[in-house]
Structure 1
């Protein structure tokens, strides 16, 4: 693969790992906006301005998620704010812009400058691999929060997408009795094929009192007052769904049921691994674009 100059802008420990991994793979990597982290960046060079980091870049990599507050780059480790306009104005016009969960505002601003953007979080290989640290993080939360062993515990998993699939597998391996609640017939069939219990989604209220822990992966409120009213007060809810989440948290608080919102687990529990997954995905995109195809 032809060596390329890559600029990493903003992000957290995952993106520090991303810069390190890409530099070890032979790329000339510069980064900007990861200031309050003193870990290993490998051969990647720290820049003091966006202009320095972006000058001559072939590829510019934004964080996951890319944006914060509409026009700002997600840069929790930066000393100051970085805007998408600042990046778009200073990056070379023929550079490729990569980011995760790119906001519409970013696409509008980069589109005005005819900058090619690819959302790397829309790639199947990344979302599947990202589900691994998410599932492991959910298991770790359950182990920390519950007064019982996971072995012999009864758990409900709501939804059966990538995260729920891997989570169910890891729970079952620890001796958890897993029941999957899913709307799609084929999802319930797969759950049964893997050896889990499976119920229609509308049956949650009828069975919810049976479980010690409920893991939600559905990104809309499915654990509402009707469900919470039938739930045991000692049941733990771990909400893995993206905002706004899947739990009526106000009602849960009134019912005395503990809810743990568990967003962005890969970056919290395994940033080096998660950064490596992003690096692998970036490499795949580079290979595909170099071959002349759409990534």
Structure 2
């Protein structure tokens, strides 16, 4: 198994596919606030944000939030507040998307390491056209 750990928090069916791809490529793959029967059995299901706080990377949903308070997690009954998410994600590099200026300011204020995926042209284009 790859020594790189990647957690996926929230998201829709695209993130179920992402979990499968990462797992199939040998990454230590975790999910939180993402539930679907197509998630491979070997993917670790976190019971809390603390469980994934030491992963190398954490991938957030697209969009990151719809209500400005919680992460977008339509495939889960778990509500993940942005505040709690940022409190626990002090070590991993965060791969987030569609970040509003106030959220960017808060991430910067907390000195959290992050990338806005929608700032990457290849990701934005694939997200816009949809891939199967």
TM over 0.5: yes
Matched with 1:40 is 39
Residues in 2 aligned to 1:27 and 1:75: alpha-carbon distance in whole angstroms: 22
- 1:105–1:81 CA distance, 2 compared to 1 (3 A): farther
Q: Is contact 2:53-2:91 (8 Å) kept?
A: no
Q: Which has the higher contact order (CA 8 A, sep 6+)?
A: 2
Q: Is contact 2:5-2:57 (8 Å) kept?
A: yes
- Coordinate RMSD, CA, aligned: 1.9
Shift of 1:124: 1.5
Give the SS at the match of 1:110: helix
When normalised by structure 1's length, the TM-score is 0.41
Matched with 2:29 is 29
The match for 2:125 among 125, 128, 131 is 128
Are 1:14 and 2:52 matched, yes or no? no
Shift of 1:61: 0.6
Matched with 2:49 is 50
Give the SS at the match of 1:41: coil
Are 1:76 and 2:65 matched, yes or no? no
Residues in 2 aligned to 1:6 and 1:45: alpha-carbon distance in whole angstroms: 10
Residues in 2 aligned to 1:3 and 1:74: alpha-carbon distance in whole angstroms: 28
Matched with 2:102 is 105
Residues in 1 aligned to 2:69 and 2:102: alpha-carbon distance in whole angstroms: 7
Matched residue count: 131
Deviations 1:122-172 (A, max 9, x none): 2111233334xx3xxxxxxxxxxxxxxxxxxxxxxxxxxxxxxxxxxxxxx
Shift of 1:33: 0.5
Shift of 1:112: 2.2
Counterparts of residues 225-236 of structure 1 (less than 5 Å): none
Are 1:4 and 2:4 matched, yes or no? yes
Answer with 1 or 2: which has the greater Rg.
1
- 1:94–1:64 CA distance, 2 compared to 1 (3 A): same
Shift of 1:4: 1.1
Residues in 2 aligned to 1:63 and 1:39: alpha-carbon distance in whole angstroms: 17
Gaps of 5+ in 1: 135-265, 274-295
Deviations 1:23-53 (A, max 9, x none): 1112111110013x2223363211222222x
